A and B are shown apart, each in its own frame.
Chain A
């Protein structure tokens, strides 16, 4: 992680040296989402089983359903160089994380069965960005785009003990702790709104869409993540929308 930050910093500094114009540094945060379709399909499967156990009269106890994975907070920081009054190119470092969990237990006679599910998904991306402002009248509105290299990680900590009082079921959820990861190239596009508070300080927001899919994620042994226990590794779809609030600082590099 530190290495990645250092590389990003060096690349951006090198970019600064190559040009001598307005440099804008920015940072921000905001809510975002990731589709995680196959992961959430597995969570739906878990919830179906949990709901069935909750409603079984011979089994005592209630376990809360697992909220779907996807919503989280993203953070980013970067800089861009204004090549003209309306066109800038640059780069940013982006981080996003989403997590979900549930826990509880069932009792059936003398037997206690534990259910504990903790899932977390995050990515770090280095994105080469471009921005084109096409409207400026107090507020500046522009379009953004970028291509990035993303390192995605997925953590699991699952205990899913089926009560013996429940009939054998055709699917048994994945159990155990694991850390899975992969890298992929993704794309971003969005709409940017900026309000210049002073000549050098601005605030703004960006509504963006990210297209990012890791075909499969694997652990250190190369084993794919099979949350629903169907024998097929899940695909990690991190595509989603985000709203990012931003503060930017412009530096005039011209002498």
Chain B
């Protein structure tokens, strides 16, 4: 084979190679479908309905033929647009998987926060008297604070009291007395089984003088075992 023929075949080969190179370069390398979606809302107190829209998903070299939703709570859905009700609080990873006509897949995930509804805190107290449109309680009088009106969608697991005079207590129903007159902010903090907390504040107005029945316990009984006696008695 002489040199002239070698050059001829080389030229032919190169001319054939050029369109292949150009088409290969311009054609690029398709990356498959791209999943993209919106969620509205993506953060809400339960129960709520989240609306998912996957119509932004696209495929540069094909057509998307399937949309599959994993709502993160063990349920799935289908279609480009869907909705899902979250009934339990938690953080959910929502995943959209799209499949194109060539069988290639694309995924995208997003966090949806289903918030625990906080407990409702409320308390009442007694005894109390009304004076000038204000409720008052006598100093040194035992007061019963009752948080039974507090509510939650599930369960309240803790009641914490701050009586505003440096004393605290826990429990749904507690007793406390103020030894000195004044206006006190009583703060009730209730905690539900999901860790949600809510405060409730109520002012308590105490009237009266310094303690005179400080030796009476919260049940009204004498705290010391003593009695009046005659002078000279052996008691």
What's the tally of chain B residues with a CB closer than 8 Å to chain A?
31
Contact partner, A141, options B11, B18, B21, B53, Cβ 8 Å: B11
Contact partner, A170, options B6, B10, B21, B36, Cβ 8 Å: B36
Which candidate, B38-46, B118-126, B198-206, is the interface stretch facing chain A? B38-46
- Whether B36 and A209, one on each chain, are in contact in the complex, defined by CB atoms closer than 8 angstroms, is no
> Roughly how many angstroms separate A169 CA and B39 CA in the complex, as a whole number?
7
Contact partner, A48, options B18, B40, B56, Cβ 8 Å: B56
- Whether A143 and B14, one on each chain, are in contact in the complex, defined by CB atoms closer than 8 angstroms, is yes
- Whether B25 and A240, one on each chain, are in contact in the complex, defined by CB atoms closer than 8 angstroms, is yes
- Whether B60 and A44, one on each chain, are in contact in the complex, defined by CB atoms closer than 8 angstroms, is yes
Q: Is A191 an interface residue (CB 8 A)?
A: yes
Neighbouring B residues of A169 by C-beta, 8 Å: 36-38, 56, 110
> Roughly how many angstroms separate A35 CA and B108 CA in the complex, as a whole number?
25
Contact A41 to B14, CB < 8 A, known contacts A35-B25, A35-B29:
no
- Whether A38 and B53, one on each chain, are in contact in the complex, defined by CB atoms closer than 8 angstroms, is no
Majority secondary structure, A binding face: mixed
Which residues from 100 to 153 on chain A have a C-beta closer than 8 Å to any C-beta of chain B?
134-135, 141, 143
Chain A residue nearest in CB terms to B6: A134
- Whether A168 and B39, one on each chain, are in contact in the complex, defined by CB atoms closer than 8 angstroms, is yes
**Residue of A134, A135, A170 with most chain B CB atoms under a 10 A cut-off:** A170
**Residue of B6, B21, B53 with most chain A CB atoms under a 10 A cut-off:** B21
Neighbouring A residues of B36 by C-beta, 8 Å: 45, 48-49, 169-171
- Whether B40 and A241, one on each chain, are in contact in the complex, defined by CB atoms closer than 8 angstroms, is no
- Whether B37 and A135, one on each chain, are in contact in the complex, defined by CB atoms closer than 8 angstroms, is no
Contact partner, A168, options B7, B42, B96, B108, Cβ 8 Å: B42
B224 → chain A closest CB, angstroms: 67
- Whether B18 and A37, one on each chain, are in contact in the complex, defined by CB atoms closer than 8 angstroms, is no
Chain A residue nearest in CB terms to B54: A170
Instruction: Kindly supply a per-residue 1/0 record for chain B positions 47-90, scoring 1 wherever the CB is within 8 Å of any chain A CB and 0 otherwise.
Output: 00000010010101000000000000000000000000000000
Q: Is B109 an interface residue (CB 8 A)?
A: yes
Neighbouring A residues of B6 by C-beta, 8 Å: 134
A66 → chain B closest CB, angstroms: 15
Q: Is A33 an interface residue (CB 8 A)?
A: yes
Chain B residue nearest in CB terms to A231: B109
- Whether B31 and A41, one on each chain, are in contact in the complex, defined by CB atoms closer than 8 angstroms, is yes
Binding site for B on A (CB under 8 A): 33, 35, 37-38, 40-41, 44-45, 48-49, 52, 134-135, 141, 143, 166-171, 191, 207, 209, 230, 237, 239-241
Binding site for A on B (CB under 8 A): 6-7, 10-11, 14, 18, 21-22, 25-26, 28-29, 31, 34-42, 53, 56, 58, 60, 94, 96, 108-110
